[in-house]
Structure 1
C-alpha cells in the first residue's frame, strides 16, 4: 500500500511539474507561409543587381538578358542563375561579376521563389 501511494505521489508530482509556459525553448518560426512573387520580391533584386550587364541587349559579355519574368525564370531553369549567385565571394563565375555576393537572405528569397513555383 505504501509503495502504491509513493508511486502515485511521484507520478502526480512529475505530471504537475510539466508545463509549456517556457518561451526559452521555442523555435522561431520561419515565414514559409509567405509566397515569394516576381513582381513584388524578385524584380527589384534583379533590377538592382543584374541589369547593369543583363539588360536588353546584354552588355559587358553577359550571355543573356534578365529584363522580364520569363528571362529570369529561364535563367534559373536553364542558365544556372542560382548556382552563379550562390558561389563564394571571389569564386570564378560568381555573380554579380566583379561585385559583392548577394546577401544569403536575398539568395534564399530567389530560391524560395523557385520552390514556390515562380509566382508572378
Structure 2
C-alpha cells in the first residue's frame, strides 16, 4: 500500500472511531452555537422598522395598540395574533404591516423563533 492510501485509510479510521462514542452531555445544541433569539437582540429592530409607524406610543392610522415595549409586543404575540397577521399572504386585508408588502419570510421566522424559544426579553 502506498503512503497516500495509508494516510487516507488512517484518517478514515480515526474519523469513524472518533464519532462512535459521542457523549450527549458534551455535545452542543443549536441554541449554544447560534444563541437564543431575544426581543432586545433580534425582534425589537424588526418591530421598530415595520410596525411602530402605526403602532407608536400613541397609535396612528387605526392601529388598536402600541408596540413600543417588550411587554406590549409579547402581549400582541400571545393574545392578539401578531404572528398570524404578519404571516398572511400579500393581498390579504388583515396582513401586517397594513397595506403590505409582506415582510420577508426570514424576518418573520425570527419572530416565530423568538416565540418558540419562550419570548425572552434580553
The interval holding the TM-score normalised by the smaller chain is 0.7 to 0.9
> Which residue of 2 is the match for residue 83 of structure 1?
84
Measure how far apart 1:94 and its partner are: 0.2
Measure how far apart 1:32 and its partner are: 4.3
Measure how far apart 1:90 and its partner are: 1.3
**1:5-44 Cα shifts (integer Å, max 9, x gaps):** xxxxxxxxxxx9xx7x9xxxxxxxxx94220011010000
1:108 aligns with 2:112: no
- Following the alignment from structure 1 to structure 2, what is the Cα–Cα distance between the partners of residues 49 and 119? 20
Alignment of 1:24-103 (within 5 A): 32-33=30-31, 34-103=35-104
- The SS at the match of 2:76 is helix
The answer on whether the counterparts of 2:93 and 2:99 sit within 8 Å (CA) in structure 1 is no
- The SS at the match of 1:85 is helix
Measure how far apart 1:99 and its partner are: 2.5
> Which residue of 2 is the match for residue 11 of structure 1?
none
> Which residue of 1 is the match for residue 5 of structure 2?
none
Normalised by the size of structure 2, how large is the TM-score?
0.71
**1:64-99 Cα shifts (integer Å, max 9, x gaps):** 100000000000000000000000011120000012
User: Which ranges in structure 2 are unaligned for 5 or more consecutive residues?
Assistant: 1-8, 16-28
User: Which ranges in structure 1 are unaligned for 5 or more consecutive residues?
Assistant: 1-15, 22-30
- Structure 1 runs of 4+ aligned residues shifted over 3 Å read none
Number of residue pairs aligned between Structure 1 and Structure 2? 94
Which is higher, the Rg of structure 1 or of structure 2?
Answer: 1
Measure how far apart 1:46 and its partner are: 0.2
Normalised by the size of structure 1, how large is the TM-score?
0.72
- The SS at the match of 2:73 is helix
